[in-house]
Structure 1
Amino acid sequence: MTAVTLEDIEEKQAQLEADHARIGQLIKQFKEQPRATEYRVDAATIPLAPGERLAGPIYAEDGTLDYYLIKLPGDGGDLSHADAIAYASGRGGKVPNRREGRLLMANLGDEFDKVAYWLEETYEHNSAYAWYQYFGDGGQYYGHKSAALRAVAVRRFIPSVI
């Protein structure tokens, strides 16, 4: 039997520590690499009244379905921001928010006149202004709430789980 020395033990320990560091790096590299994912789309029946159009799904921050956005028929013209909100409310809907405005532009943009339509949000740096969606170039800008712009009403459909 060969005698074991302190140097042998320290050498083996250094080798094990190097192996641990290398394995730690491999684990970190494995965790950071892209992974294949699966997204399940549940079937939903979305009731649409005559003239309504489905704009598409809105997802929550965690990637799950939040609701479906539905554009109500028609629009109101030459309205202040407050009048646009009242117009949408009177039709049983809401003025779209900024995210919904982008979805409307992407999926239903051809159904809008190439003009500005009010959005729900007040401009965060000056409460006398609010955001609008310009369907001419797809951009979102802000204007004085007293400006006369168009308005569209939307509703949100949340599929129920039965």
Structure 2
Amino acid sequence: MSDNKHVRDTLGEGEHYAGLILGKDGEPDHHLVLMGGEVAEAGWAPATSWARALGGELPTRRELSLLFANLKEQFEREWYWSREPQAGHPHLVWGQNFASGIQTVYGRAFRGHARAVRRMPVE
């Protein structure tokens, strides 16, 4: 059985397979799964806690790019949090605008949207 088929067979209700993220800087490759549900009008800390309560995490910037490319229709045309603070400015966090496709930073108190992801190692 192909690895992609195995991942697709493990999707829970409301989940969508986003694709493969190639490892960078020594990290392993992984499959990315968009989990069901969304939170709106949430600062970064509450969004992070929400994702963890689901058993997932906020996506990285690279993962947000993949989600925009492959599952844009699963998102509102809004700005979504990543889990990545801006280097040198920990009070700012990166996110993805799902209307325009650009990535920008906002302060942690900004009230944005969030989706959770889970990662499955490539076997």
TM-score exceeds 0.5: yes
2:105 matched to 1:136? no
> What is aligned with 2:31?
68
List per-residue Cα deviations over 1:50-91 (Å, max 9, x = no partner).
Answer: 1100000011249xx711000001101111111111010000
Question: How much does 1:128 deviate?
Answer: 1.2
Alignment of 1:117-156 (within 5 A): 117-156=80-119
| Higher relative strand content | 2
Distance 1:110 1:139 in 2: 16
Equivalent of residue 17 in structure 2, options 19, 32, 54? 54
Report the aligned-residue RMSD.
1.6
| AA matched with 1:43 | S
| Higher relative helix content | 1
- What is the percent sequence identity of the aligned residues? 32
Equivalent of residue 86 in structure 1, options 26, 39, 49? 49
Number of residue pairs the alignment of both structures matches: 117
Unmatched tracts of structure 2, length 5 or more: none
Q: Quick check: which has more Rg, 1 or 2?
A: 1
Distance 1:113 1:57 in 2: 23
> What is aligned with 1:100?
63
TM-score normalised over the length of structure 1 = 0.69
| AA matched with 1:88 | A
List per-residue Cα deviations over 1:25-63 (Å, max 9, x = no partner).
Answer: xxxxxxxxxxxxxxxxx811111011100000011249x
**Does 1 or 2 have the higher relative contact order (CA < 8 Å, sep 6+)?**
2
Question: How much does 1:111 deviate?
Answer: 1.4
Moved more, 83-92 or 124-133: 124-133
